């Protein structure tokens, strides 16, 4: 027998079995027909794989090789991506945290020093200016009071005049008493 004719009759037989499965679905019910149909399709797939391997032995080797290559490529790629992503994330995070901490600390320190210096200088200048103004005002008031008081020579002259006036008044009083 010719192998091509045998394959034709086997394919025809599988086709009839699948047609029988459809008939069972219609006549006996869905569960029995579906079970029989699935069994027929699975056995047909096994038959096709066997036939491909028989007519082209390299086919099965190539298919398996391709599947293994695809699987390995996917697994290696995922593993490498995951590992690289984790390591890069860790290194970048550490580097960024360190750099940001240093730069922020420096900038904050500079700005705080500058701000504190400016504010303290302004406050000291304002406070000193107010204090000096108050002291000047108090000195002015003291000077005004001092200017209103009689000077020592005026006090002496007034005391002399008072003494003379008192002496004259005493003399007049004695003269009257006499």
pLDDT along the chain (178 residues), means of 10: 75 82 80 79 78 66 78 83 82 81 81 85 85 86 77 73 69 72
The predicted model scores a pTM of 0.29
SS3 (DSSP) at 178: coil
**Joined tokens for residue 164:** 């003379």
pLDDT value of position 167: 67
First to last CA, the chain: 192
**Dist. CA 56–CA 85, nearest whole Å:** 43
The H or E element that residue 147 is part of is: helix 57-148
pLDDT value of position 163: 67
């Amino acid at each position: 027998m010719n192998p091509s004719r045998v394959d034709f009759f086997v394919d025809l037989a599988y086709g009839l079995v699948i047609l029988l499965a459809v008939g069972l679905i219609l006549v006996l019910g869905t569960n029995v027909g579906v079970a029989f149909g699935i069994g027929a399709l699975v056995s047909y797939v096994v038959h096709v794989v066997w036939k491909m391997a028989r007519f082209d032995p390299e086919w099965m080797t190539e298919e398996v090789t391709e599947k293994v290559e695809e699987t390995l490529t996917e697994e290696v790629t995922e593993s490498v991506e995951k590992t690289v992503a984790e390591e890069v994330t860790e290194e970048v995070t550490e580097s960024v945290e360190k750099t940001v901490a240093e730069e922020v600390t420096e900038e904050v320190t500079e700005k705080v020093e500058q701000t504190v210096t400016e504010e303290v200088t302004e406050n000291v200048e304002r406070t000193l200016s107010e204090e000096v103004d108050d002291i000047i005002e108090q000195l002015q008031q003291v000077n005004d009071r001092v200017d209103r008081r009689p000077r020592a020579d005026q006090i002496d002259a007034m005391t002399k005049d008072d003494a003379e006036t008192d002496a004259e008044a005493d003399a007049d009083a004695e003269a009257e008493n006499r």
